[in-house]
Amino acid sequence: MAGISLHKLRKSFGALTVVHDVDLEIADKEFIILVGPSGCGKSTTLRMIAGLEEITSGELIIGDTIVNDVPSKDRDIAMVFQNYALYPHMTVYKNMAFGLKLRRAPRDLIDRKVHETAEILDIKHLLNRRPKALSGGQRQRVALGRAMVRSPAVFLLDEPLSNLDAKLRSTMRSELTKLHRRLDATFIYVTHDQVEAMTMADRIVVMKDGHIQQVDTPQALYDRPTNMFVAGFIGAPQMNFLPVTISKQNGVPVAEFDGNSLPLPTRLIDRVGVDYAGRDCVLGLRPENFHERPPIDVDPALTVPVEVDVELAEPMGAEVHLNAALRSRSIVARVSPRCQARAGDRLTLTADLSSAHLFDRETERAIGA
């Protein structure tokens, strides 16, 4: 059993606090991913769990022991570093065997473990090479292998794919998912790439400036972001934000955008209630909420035609990303490749407001979530 609890975990470097009282419960065998922009404290959090960084205050519990003062080697964890940190003077075999050797495991056990792991990761033919004679992808596998041979309860991975090219990265993504299932261990994975987070995680932890913004499953994060930061961070191209004012029309709250009234879905109407009448808000619409023709499966009352000036059409193959101006606001719409719009064209899109998000402009928190 290796559930992990972070209770008010804090890290300060001198007067600078980079991780602020983080609370997080990680279940046994969960694949959890920490995402956030550069410098938000993901690595620091991971390194505290690893025991590489002293915990300033708060409690870290692995299994059911407080491990604040337990050295790394006794925490039953393994770590994969961003730059792999393979021992350059040791062969791949020795790199992988090192941890077991230090634990005085019998030779034949070490040998068996290393070969088994090498088999899984398809690096058997590399066992006698030194790290400098390996490609980036191979090094990455060796680093994973080094973590795997000890069969730890928890794997900590700090941007392990960031040095790989796009194609290899997507292969490794699916391999890591399979590996997680196979190894039956807890994975804590740090990345700033939201695609990695969305595709691999059981749950995602979104961080910003040392604070946790939201913890949830990938789909829930996408569908119900709790604030504008999460809404903008998860999803690519990112969510479009339109400044609106809430007003009442025939007793029903609507969002006023640049002189136009936009209808709101019941979900939001209920939440807006009376408090928000006349208040400034931000309406969030994902790129796929703009359509070239009115969608058939959506209540027509919740759609509005919007006129946009196309500034740039980015063909992605399966879809086209239209960067366009909507009344001087830049938006991105995701449309089908059949759309022949070019830069400079004026186009009428249909905005589907049924899955719109509404945020308080001051606090940036979601209103309808």
Ligand X SMILES: Nc1ncnc2c1ncn2[C@@H]1O[C@H](COP(=O)(O)OP(=O)(O)OP(=O)(O)O)[C@@H](O)[C@H]1O
Task: Read off the DSSP letter of residue 181.
Answer: H
Q: What Cα–Cα distance (Å) separates residue 226 from each residue in 40, 103, 229? A: 18, 46, 8
- Residue 325 host element (H or E): strand 320-326
* Binding to ligand X in span 162-201, by CB under 6 A: 192
Are the CB atoms for 158 and 191 separated by under 8 Å?
A: no
Question: From residue 99 to residue 128, what is the string marking binding to another protein with x (rule CB under 8 A)?
Answer: x--xx-------------------------
70 lines the binding site for another protein (CB under 8 A): no
Smaller CB separation from ligand X, 18 or 281: 18
* Binding to another protein in span 18-47, by CB under 8 A: none
43 lines the binding site for Mg ion (CB under 5 A): yes
* Candidate list 51, 225, 284, 368; residue touching another protein; CB under 8 A: 51
Classify each residue of 260-277 as buried b or exposed e, where b means 16 or more C-beta atoms within 10 Å of its C-beta.
Answer: eebbbbeebeebbeeebe
88 lines the binding site for another protein (CB under 8 A): yes
Smaller CB separation from ligand X, 22 or 324: 22
* Candidate list 4, 30, 31, 43; residue touching ligand X; CB under 6 A: 43
The C-alpha angle with vertex 54 and arms to 229 and 191, in degrees rounded to 5, equals 35
Task: Read off the DSSP letter of residue 233.
Answer: H
Binding residues for ligand X, total number by CB under 6 A? 12
191 lines the binding site for Mg ion (CB under 5 A): no
CB of 87 to another protein, least distance (A): 6
Half-sphere exposure (Cβ direction) of 186: Cα atoms closer than 13 Å = 20
- Residue 148 host element (H or E): helix 136-148
Half-sphere exposure (Cβ direction) of 338: Cα atoms closer than 13 Å = 4
* Binding to another protein in span 267-286, by CB under 8 A: none
User: Can you tell me the distance from the alpha carbon of 336 to that of 30, in angstroms, rounded to the nearest whole number?
Assistant: 36
| Residue 296, binding choice from Mg ion, ligand X, another protein, none, Cβ under 5 to 8 Å by partner class | none
CB of 20 to ligand X, least distance (A): 11
CB of 219 to ligand X, least distance (A): 24
User: Binding residues for Mg ion, per CB under 5 A?
Assistant: 43
User: Binding residues for another protein, per CB under 8 A?
Assistant: 50-52, 71-73, 77-79, 81, 83, 85-91, 98-99, 102-103, 130, 133, 146, 150
